[in-house]
Amino acid sequence: MSRIRVGLDVGGTKIDALALAADGAILARTRIPTGWGDHAVVSAVHDAIEALAGEGGFPVAEVASVGIGIPGLIDADAGRVLHAVNLGVTQLDLADAVRVRLPVPVSVENDVKAAALGAGSLRGDAHSMAYLNLGTGVAAGIVIDGVLWRGAHGTAGEVGHLSVDPRGRVCGCGQRGCIETFCGGGAVSKAWGRGGELPLRDVFDLAERGDAFALELREGVAFGAASAVRSLVLSADVETVVIGGGVTALGDRLLDDIVRRLRQEGAESPFIGSLHLDERIELLPAGSPAAALGAALVGAARLPAELV
Amino acid sequence: MSRIRVGLDVGGTKIDALALAADGAILARTRIPTGWGDHAVVSAVHDAIEALAGEGGFPVAEVASVGIGIPGLIDADAGRVLHAVNLGVTQLDLADAVRVRLPVPVSVENDVKAAALGAGSLRGDAHSMAYLNLGTGVAAGIVIDGVLWRGAHGTAGEVGHLSVDPRGRVCGCGQRGCIETFCGGGAVSKAWGRGGELPLRDVFDLAERGDAFALELREGVAFGAASAVRSLVLSADVETVVIGGGVTALGDRLLDDIVRRLRQEGAESPFIGSLHLDERIELLPAGSPAAALGAALVGAARLPAELV
């Protein structure tokens, strides 16, 4: 009986793909380039599944379900993607399009929400946690008792667009001083304005050499990330905030900055100090399969119970 | 069989008391002055229950459960109150103290959280809502599917201490620019600094007459309240935010300001506009029994199932 559950994390440049066996073991994992535009995205999804099958030594016919994590606004019930600007997709009935060639249950979820579910599953004790994604943009997914918490209209965890400085830079969303303007990779690169392949790393490197603007931006990254953590704890009161996304390629340099900032805030405010925020954050390890794993779990959730 | 459930909202100046019949009907409601210090608070609780019994024409022996909403840090499992500064209470095992004279289940809950539960019950469709209390301080309670959401450490809904302006006034908690510094009655009165019996009303009145500082403070109240609503929706994504507390005695003048502010923010940001925040808020009606009712529900939750 086909019981292989496939999870795909579709990003702007690559698809991270993973196959889960019936017992939850990871059978195969691979990465392939992603496509641009509706047709290319759908093709790349099929290519990724075939590459996975080759990698894991199983026929595609063994795939029981597909879950796809993808940036943008998602209508999960319809399997529809809206405004995935990094993929050239305006509106795409992705689940239906994939099912034309692979007639199994296909589910679509926002990539950050899928990653939250995967990070929670990897931690094994997702009683209450948030996954904070510091990527081009900033957003979080909240997992309570192992279940993704969507909220009334799917905006739960959208802390990137909380304004924390009325005099801050204008955000892509139109507000000023959003958390994303401080610690989103896109906003920081734009503010930095010097180009380069890894502008965030340049900012951190030059800050270490004393460049005043780089120091200001680097402190802003810590302030923004700390503000996101504070917002998640003071509103949803999650036990743990796992931080991932492209910006976390900075590793301990980033984590140390955020921890220092949270400790400083805790020293200034006994109330904030009592929350021990510095002990409640962790970085998702580099290369973690959280996003693709979460997508596989989202896909499997649509399977009949006897297959799960 | 005794099935009367009593709920008490213990405030800094008065106790609002309410008795519920087995079918949920309100049997009696009354208000008495509150006490200062451990002993006086416990005595006032008993006085309130006796006043209720007199009002409703039932013997105190008919009371099946007591729920108490009270400001401060609450250890709900222990029935303990910590740091209820407006009541002169540092640490009090309130449930145990009340049970000495009235040996029935007694539960203690933070007053804002109890009011959230009551407001949700009164709306009848508490699928996902927050109760935002603009009182001396600012805090919210979140109710999901009719159940109070406490979070990992009981700080869910503590949006009053989210900083929204790094250059703002110093908050009692030690941070700068907390939401509470903008729209908390205590902080605004202190910033206003001119005394008076109803300083918030003075601020609103003088703002209407063009006083520059009053206008700044009044706009700050709208900004703070709007920020709290935004924070609750962008983190927990509750469907509705019900606003109550002493500051709402300003009525439509306050609500109109908050609605105007939310609309202005929605006009500046398509993303914020898409959330229709102005349509998701409402004021708790003056004299609403939400807080005492919520306390009664908290108390009843400890009753054996056959009594509820």
Output the average pLDDT for chain B.
Answer: 94
Confidence at A305, pLDDT banded by 50, 70, 90:
low
CA distance A263 to A22: 44
Q: What is the pLDDT of residues A83-129, one digit of tens each?
A: 888 899 999 999 999 999 999 999 999 999 999 999 999 988 778 99
Q: Confidence class of residue B234 from pLDDT cuts 50, 70 and 90? A: very high
At residue B307, the pLDDT reads 45
- Identity at A9, one-letter amino acid code: D
Other Cβ atoms within 10 Å of B197 Cβ, number = 6
What is the structure's pLDDT at B155?
87
**Cβ <8 Å between B238 and A151:** yes
User: Which of A11-15, A104-108, B219-223 is the least confident region?
Assistant: A11-15
Pairwise CA distance, residues B134 & B139, whole Å: 7
* Mean pLDDT value across chain A: 94
pLDDT band of residue B230 (cuts 50, 70, 90) is very high
CATH superfamily of A4-111+289-307: ATPase, nucleotide binding domain (3.30.420.40)
Beta bridge partners of B69: B9, B109
- Minimum distance, in Å, between the CA of residue A165 and any CA atom of chain B: 5
A125 touches chain B (CB under 8 A): no
Which of A158, A239, A268 is nearest residue B175 as measured by Cβ atoms?
Answer: A268
- Convert the pLDDT of each residue in B188-209 to its tens digit: 999 999 988 899 999 999 999 9
Compute CA distances A281 → A113, A132, A229, A241, B205, whole Å: 18, 10, 8, 5, 46
Biggest alpha carbon distance in chain B? 62
Please give the pLDDT value at position B306: 47
Domain A116-283 belongs to what topology?
A: Nucleotidyltransferase; domain 5 (3.30.420)
User: Which of A82, A128, A237, A240 is the best substitution to test chain B (most B C-beta atoms within 10 A)?
Assistant: A237
**What is the rounded CA–CA span in Å between residue B166 and residue A250?**
26
Question: B52, B30 in Cβ contact below 8 A?
Answer: yes
List, as one string, the DSSP characters of B134-172: ESSSEEEEEEETTEEE--SSS-TT-GGG-BS-TTSPBPT
Greater pLDDT, A245 or A35: A245
Measured CA distances, A30 to A40, A47, A49, A56, B106 (Å): 18, 11, 9, 10, 58
DSSP string over chain A:
---EEEEEEE-SSEEEEEEE-TTS-EEEEEEEE--SSHHHHHHHHHHHHHHHHHHHT--GGGEEEEEEEESSEEETTTTEEEEEGGGTEEEE-HHHHHHHHS-S-EEEEEHHHHHHHHHHHHHS--SEEEEEEESSSEEEEEEETTEEE--SSS-TT-GGG-BS-TTSPBPTTS-BSBHHHHH-HHHHHHHH----SSHHHHHHHHHHTT-HHHHHHHHHHHHHHHHHHHHHHHHT--SEEEEESGGGGGTHHHHHHHHHHHHHHHHH-HHHHHTTGGGSEEEPPTT--HHHHHHHHHHHTTS-GGG-
- Percentage of the residues of chain B whose pLDDT score is greater than 90: 84
Check B230 against A162: CB less than 8 A apart. Answer: yes
Residue B304: band (very low, low, confident or very high) from pLDDT cuts 50, 70, 90: low
Q: Residue A135 is which amino acid? A: G
DSSP strand pairing (B138-144 vs B80-84): unpaired
Confidence of residue B305 (pLDDT cuts 50, 70, 90): low
Q: Give the rounded distance of the alpha carbon of A273 from its chain centre.
A: 28
Partners of residue A240 on adjacent β-strands:
A129
Please count the other Cβ atoms lying within 10 Å of the Cβ belonging to residue A261.
21
Cα separations in angstroms, A286 against A180, A196, A246, B252: 22, 22, 10, 52
- Write down the pLDDT at residue B2: 66
Give the model's pLDDT for residue A200: 96
Q: What is the location of CATH 3.30.420.40 in chain B?
A: 4-112+289-307, 116-283
| B111 at interface of A, judged by CB pairs closer than 8 A | no
Q: Sorting pLDDT into bands at 50, 70 and 90, what band is B216? A: very high
**Amino acid identity for residue B295 in this structure:** A
Question: What tokens does B60 get?
Answer: 């105190």
Q: How far is CA A274 from CA A255, A269, B153, B212, in A?
A: 20, 9, 11, 38
Starting at the earlier edge strand, list the strands of the sheet with A106-110. A26-33, A14-20, A4-10, A63-70, A106-110
The Cα angle at residue B247 between residues B242 and B248, in degrees rounded to 5: 45
Say how far apart CA A71 and CA B275 lie, in whole Å: 19
* Chain segment B47-106, per-residue pLDDT in tens: 999 999 999 999 999 999 999 999 988 999 999 999 888 899 999 999 999 999 999 999
B125 has a pLDDT exceeding 80: no
CATH 3.30.420.40 residue ranges for chain A: 4-111+289-307, 116-283
Over residues A137-178, the pLDDT tens digits come to: 999 999 998 889 888 888 899 999 999 999 999 999 999 999
* ipTM confidence: 0.90
Give the pLDDT confidence of A260-288 residue by residue, as tens digits.
999 999 999 999 999 999 999 999 998 99
Q: Which of A185-189, A195-199, B229-233 has the lowest mean pLDDT?
A: A195-199
**Residue A132: which of A165, A61, A83, A180 has the closest Cα?**
A180
A269 with B175: Cβ contact below 8 A: yes
Q: Report the residue of chain A nearest B157, measured CA to CA.
A: A235
Pairs of CB atoms within 8 A across A/B: 130
* A170–B contact, CB cutoff 8 A: no
Are the C-beta atoms of A143 and A129 separated by less than 8 Å?
yes
Q: Which helix or strand (DSSP H or E) is residue B27 part of?
A: strand B26-33
Spatial distance between the Cα atoms of B223 and B262, rounded to a whole number of angstroms: 8
The domain made up of B4-112+289-307 has a fold known as Nucleotidyltransferase; domain 5 (3.30.420)
Q: How many percent of chain B have pLDDT more than 70?
A: 97
State both tokens at A62. 């063994």
